[in-house]
């Protein structure tokens, strides 16, 4: 997936595009009290993101990306998506002992109510997957 250049109108744009993937995607939808969103995001990053990135048995981070989205129409709603390198990596991180340890750390640091509203990947029997990705570079960034 190399960076390429194109012109849109008279403006040069760097981008990359890759298709033909089949990468498993995890989608979680949580709800917390709106006044605790920032604290949730901080603790989620420190405990879950970094904790799953450092699971013993991996020579590298087992997920390719993690994005966190907020919904302005539903304050307190947090959507988290992971793109995993493989279903096997996801399952290894999902082992009970790993999840229990991380959940205990999270609960210790975030004592507020958290409701899991949906786990879309479970609703689809882990069938959600990324098939392509298009990404432009940010303003003023050159990826050459």
What does the DSSP assignment read for the chain? ---EEEEETTEEEEEEEEEEEEEEEEEEEEEE-GGGHHHHHHHIIIIIIHHHHT-TT-SS-SEEEEEEEE-TTSTTEEEEEEEES-HHHHHHHT-HHHHHHHHHHHHHH--S-EEEEEEHHHHTTT--EEEEEEEEPPTT----
Question: Which percentage of the chain shows pLDDT scores above 90?
Answer: 70
- Across the range 74-86, mean pLDDT stands at 97
Q: Please name every residue paired with 124 in a beta bridge, in sequence order, or none if there are none.
A: none
- Across the range 102-107, mean pLDDT stands at 97
- Do 14 and 67 meet the contact criterion of CB atoms below 8 Å apart? no
| pLDDT given at position 60 | 84
- The CA-atom distances, in angstroms, between 73 and each of 24, 39, 80 are 28, 20, 17
Q: Please name every residue paired with 7 in a beta bridge, in sequence order, or none if there are none.
A: 12
Parse the chain into domains and list their residue ranges.
Answer: 26-129
Q: Between these two residues, 16 and 119, which has the higher pLDDT value?
A: 119
Query: Would the pLDDT of 140 be above 60?
Result: no
Query: Would the pLDDT of 1 be above 60?
Result: no
| pLDDT given at position 66 | 96
pTM for the model stands at: 0.84
Confidence of residue 81 (pLDDT cuts 50, 70, 90): very high
Q: Which fold, 26-129?
A: Alpha-Beta Plaits (3.30.70)
| pLDDT given at position 97 | 93
- Across the range 72-92, mean pLDDT stands at 96
Mean model confidence pLDDT for the chain: 89
Query: Would the pLDDT of 15 be above 60?
Result: yes
Query: Would the pLDDT of 9 be above 90?
Result: no
């Amino acid at each position: 997936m190399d960076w390429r250049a194109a012109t849109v109108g008279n403006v040069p744009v760097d981008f990359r595009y890759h298709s033909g993937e089949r990468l498993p995607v995890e989608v979680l939808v949580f709800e917390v009290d709106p006044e605790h969103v920032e604290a949730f995001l901080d603790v989620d990053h420190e405990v879950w993101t970094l904790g799953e990135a450092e699971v013993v048995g991996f020579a590298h981070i087992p997920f390719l990306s993690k994005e966190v989205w907020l919904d302005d129409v539903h304050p307190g709603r947090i959507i988290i998506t992971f793109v995993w390198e493989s279903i096997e990596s996801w399952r290894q991180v999902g082992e009970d002992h790993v999840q229990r340890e991380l959940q205990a750390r999270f609960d210790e640091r975030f004592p507020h109510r958290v409701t899991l509203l949906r786990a879309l990947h479970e609703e689809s029997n882990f069938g959600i997957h990324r098939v392509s990705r298009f990404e432009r570079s940010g303003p003023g960034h050159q990826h050459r």
